[in-house]
Amino acid sequence: MKKFIIVLYLLLCSVLGFAQDVLTKKNGEDISSKVLEVTTTEIKYKKFDNPNGPTFTILKSEVLLIRYENGTKDVFNEPQKPVTQSQAVVERTVSFKKNEIKGNVLALILGSIAVTYERILNEESAVGFALTVPVDDYVFDINYTATAYYRYYFGEKPAAGFFGEAFGMLNSVDDYVYEDNFSSGYERKNLTDFAIGVGLGGKWVTKKGLILELNIGVGRNLFNNQFERDYTIIGRGGVSIGYRF
């Protein structure tokens, strides 16, 4: 009789053991359960010892395999798929210095002091302000120019490489204008005007923040058009060196 009870007990344990699903987690833990649903991201189950209890959810990524009561199993330790080139591109936030101060070497050689401050908005664009004042009145008829500009950069490095710009320039010049009056001739006048224009150029920046820049642009004065004058069209340009900080 005792032998029969022992055999019956062993058979019952064996049946109970095979009547459950076993979740094996990747950390080695086994969970005796009744699996209810397997989705693309989650596994829903009830604990084997409490079938009428709450439904539990576990991330599929945490599970190594499921051994079902019928002897089948699902393995979730799938081999890693090859990474495509687009997936390999990691989003990054580039941290770089966003202020520049520059001096126009070419303008200095020609007899003017020209300095520029530029504020970088992002990797592709910047705004700036340039002031030019001649130191040799005999060379230039321009008394001063104050230029504000917006630039868009096309280089791979932040705010560097080839660029295009749009600018507005306040300028004061000693211009020769023709007036049809009793004297009927050209007269030298000091005229203040505002021009809008476009330009292009290139900028190179070293790892230490040293800058070399070449630029050229042309604009048209909007006012004083009643005169026949020399400075209807006004240009800007230079070879500049500076520092990014």
Residues 112 and 47 in one domain: no
Question: What's the full length of the chain, in residues?
Answer: 245
Q: What is the pLDDT of residue 182?
A: 58
- Could you list the mean pLDDT of each consecutive 10-residue stretch along the chain, which spans 245 residues? 48 50 89 90 90 90 88 75 51 72 95 96 97 80 94 94 98 80 71 96 96 98 83 94 97
State the CATH number of the domain containing residue 42.
Answer: 2.30.30
Q: What is the pLDDT of residue 150?
A: 98
- Whether 108 is in a domain gets the answer yes
Residues 112 and 59 in one domain: no
If one counts the domains in the chain, the total is 2
- Whether 11 is in a domain gets the answer no
- Whether 173 is in a domain gets the answer yes
Question: What residue numbers bound the domain in which 168 lies?
Answer: 99-244
CB 229 within 8 A of CB 176: yes
Residues 220 and 121 in one domain: yes
Kindly list the strands in the beta sheet with 56-59, ordered across the sheet, starting from the edge strand earlier in the chain: 56-59, 42-47, 30-38, 21-25, 63-67, 73-75
**Can you list the alpha helix ranges (DSSP code H) found in the chain?**
2-18, 85-88, 105-110
Q: What is the pLDDT of residue 10?
A: 46
Residues 60 and 156 in one domain: no
- Cα distances (Å, whole numbers) of residue 59 to 11, 16, 37: 34, 26, 12
Its pTM stands at: 0.60
Residues 64 and 136 in one domain: no
Domain end (from 44, 77, 110): 77
Residues 208 and 145 in one domain: yes
